[in-house]
Amino acid sequence: MEQKADIAVIGLAVMGQNLILNMNDHGFTVVAHNRTVAKVDDFLAGPAKGTNIIGAKSIEEMMGLLKRPRRIMFMVKAGNPVDAAIEQVLPFCEPGDCIIDGGNSHFTDTIRRTRYLEEKGLLFIGTGVSGGEEGARHGPSMMPGGSVKAWPLVKDLFTAIAAKTPDGISCCDWVGADGAGHYVKMAHNAIEYGDMQIICEAYQLMRQGLGLSHAVMHDIFKQWNRTELDSYLIEITADIMAVNDEDGAPLVEKILDAAGQKGTGKWFSINSLDLGIPVTLIAEAVYARSLSALKDERVAASRMLAGPAVSFEGDIEEFVEDIRKALLASKIISYTQGFMCIREAAGEYGWDLDYGSIALLWREGCIIRSVFLEKISAAYRSNPQLVNLLLDDYFTSIIISCQESWRRVIAKAVELGVPVPALSSALAFYDGYRCEKLPANLLQAQRDYFGAHTYERTDRPRKEFFHTNWTGRGGDVASGTYEV
Ligand code: 6PG
């Protein structure tokens, strides 16, 4: 059998098919395989007709067609299917071969799989692939991590098929060891949750709060897309506002307000709790989806729980501009929190990450692509040790210029009874982060009062712990100072 294929792809669902076609466009010879073999024939006779793509009916045949060292990419569902696929190809692998998982796998699975395959003398890559069907076909954002030695094996192929920034830089670069690529993809998805939720809250304010029509909202989102908010998600929101159902009414209003989720936003929120990083906006975005899913309960509650009998009074145009600024300020908070968590994760899991490069990976191709990411990249490029994005001059000045509008929007939303959990939690984070003295002194006193949990003092060095017998009855024995 002639070993002529550059890479094998297993999994011919839409993402797999499109990625193969993209690789073919860039001059790579791909061998395609699928568990249900009929799909291989359908693919070859359909979208792959007239290309150099080769079909393989079995794993053995597929492996025989590959150049050495072999590169085998899985585009299968995350979870057990990835482990099952690994076990299927393992008997045919030779030391130095490289297995690549292009699904939305949990980063801890990727850490485990990297170790497992490296122990067998193989290489493993877990890569985030973002951009949906369109991205996979014409240029996704790719976030590979795994066995460091595997990068030179896939670099040319991955950087060729990935999206490019306006300056021609590929939106694919090595992220870091073992689970780093899938961690960064999880962060991407979580930020996507945040971006989508704050856009949805802006829409709710304009629709419920101001009573604006979809045609007007279409124009507003279009106009916002010519500002710092210029992004794919604002662009598609403008498009959605303009689409009518067969009866001429806006289609979006006929869609049931119960959000789905596949879990990456939840994973990131859980991880942020484990790491102790306040990723409040994204967590609120996940909870907002959960609340939306309680549709029947909400319908019943809406008939019993009254809101304020207030309607908007004021200048609509000015308030719409306030909403835009609230959205921008909240977006800055969301990315700030996202990068805080990525940075903490790097320390926790031992990854050497380049934050400026990560921001550029998301500049094009992916769902959160935006002009804004260039500014984040520039901030980290000019100061790789930047502790917090909010402390970069550009972001400090924008957030300060937005804050009056932001506060007006939250105050008005509260007055009108319009829920804005993400926009308001972002403001609460801002006020907390810039607060020299939070009330945690009282909290520590309470903990010490009821449980002798001890506290540190402002007039003593850190890590010296004190206990007070607050009532005269509790005794002087302090409980251990530890964190779970
Ligand atoms: C992407 C998307 C992709 C997927 C989301 C949807 O980067 O191309 O993020 O991965 O569309 O995972 O996630 P939810 O179903 O959780 O909204």
Q: What is the pLDDT of residues 151-178, one digit of tens each?
A: 999 999 999 999 999 999 999 999 999 9
Mean pLDDT throughout 228-244?
Answer: 98
pLDDT digits 0-9 by tens, 19-30: 999 999 999 999
Tokens representing 251? 């289609």
Q: How far is the CA of 448 from the centre of ligand 1 (A)?
A: 44
Mean pLDDT throughout 342-363?
Answer: 97
For the beta carbon of residue 45, count every other beta carbon within 10 angstroms: 10
pLDDT at 44: 97
Residue 130 near ligand 1, beta carbon < 6 Å: yes
pLDDT digits 0-9 by tens, 266-316: 999 999 999 999 999 999 999 999 999 999 999 999 999 999 999 999 999
- Whole-number percent of the chain with pLDDT over 70: 99
Q: Which residue has a Cα nearest atom 6 of ligand 1?
A: 262
What residues contact residue 388 under an 8 Å CB cut-off, 6+ apart?
336, 340, 433
Categorise residue 101: left if φ over 0, alpha if ψ from -120 to 50, beta otherwise: beta
Residue 104 near ligand 1, beta carbon < 6 Å: yes
Tokens representing 289? 């989806």
Residue 134 near ligand 1, beta carbon < 6 Å: no
Rounded CA separation 323/168 (Å) = 34
Residue 261 near ligand 1, beta carbon < 6 Å: yes
Q: How far is the CA of 342 from the centre of ligand 1 (A)?
A: 19
Strands of 98-101's sheet, edge to edge?
54-55, 30-33, 7-10, 71-74, 98-101, 123-130, 141-146, 176-177
Largest CA distance in the chain: 87
Would you call the peptide bond into 69 cis, given omega within 30 degrees of 0 as the criterion? Answer: yes
Chain-wide mean pLDDT for the chain? Answer: 96
pLDDT digits 0-9 by tens, 49-97: 999 999 999 999 999 999 999 999 999 999 999 999 999 999 999 999 9
Rounded CA separation 360/28 (Å) = 25
Which pairing describes strands 30-33 and 98-101: parallel, antiparallel, or unpaired?
unpaired
> DSSP state, 416?
H
End-to-end Cα, the chain, rounded Å: 57
Least Cα distance to 399 among 432, 355, 430 occurs for: 430
pLDDT at 2: 77
- Whole-number percent of the chain with pLDDT over 90: 96
Least Cα distance to 343 among 360, 330, 333, 356 occurs for: 356
Residue 262 near ligand 1, beta carbon < 6 Å: yes
Q: Which residue has a Cα nearest atom 7 of ligand 1?
A: 130
pLDDT digits 0-9 by tens, 418-429: 999 999 999 999
Least Cα distance to 90 among 59, 64, 68 occurs for: 59
Mean pLDDT throughout 389-407?
Answer: 97
For the chain, percent helix, then strand, then coil, each to nearest 5?
55, 10, 35
Rounded CA separation 288/196 (Å) = 11
Q: Could you tell which of 15, 195, 367, 373 is best to mutate to test the pocket of ligand 1, judged by most ligand atoms within 8 Å of the CB? A: 367
Tokens representing 343? 């940075």
Least Cα distance to 399 among 374, 360, 426 occurs for: 426
Rounded CA separation 484/482 (Å) = 7
Mean pLDDT throughout 319-344?
Answer: 98
Q: For ligand 1, what atom is nearest to the CA of residue 140?
A: 8
Residue 69 near ligand 1, beta carbon < 6 Å: no
Mean pLDDT throughout 365-393?
Answer: 95
pLDDT at 1: 66
Tokens representing 270? 């859980």
Enzyme catalytic residues:
185, 192
Name the pTM for this structure: 0.96
